[in-house]
Chain A
Amino acid sequence: NAGVTQTPKFQVLKTGQSMTLQCAQDMNHEYMSWYRQDPGMGLRLIHYSVGAGITDQGEVPNGYNVSRSTTEDFPLRLLSAAPSQTSVYFCASRIQGDTEAFFGQGTRLTVV
Chain B
Amino acid sequence: KNEVEQSPQNLTAQEGEFITINCSYSVGISALHWLQQHPGGGIVSLFMLSSGKKKHGRLIATINIQEKHSSLHITASHPRDSAVYICAARPNYNNNDMRFGAGTRLTVKP
Contacts and interface: CB of A to CB of B under 8 A. Distances in A.
- A and B are partners in one complex rather than unrelated chains: yes
Interface of A: 31, 33, 35, 40-45, 48, 50, 56, 58-59, 88, 90, 92, 97-103, 105-106, 108
B48 A99 contact: yes
Interface of B: 2, 4, 30-31, 33, 35, 40-45, 48, 50, 86, 88, 90, 95-103
Given A43-B86, A98-B50, A101-B98, 11 more contacts: A35-B100, A42-B2, A42-B4, A42-B88, A42-B99, A42-B101, A42-B103, A44-B100, A48-B96, A97-B95, A106-B43
A45 B45 contact: no
A5 to B, nearest CB: 12
Contacts of A48: 96-97
Contacts of B101: 42
Contact of B102 (A41, A45, A58, A98): A41
A103 B42 contact: yes
Contacts of A41: 102
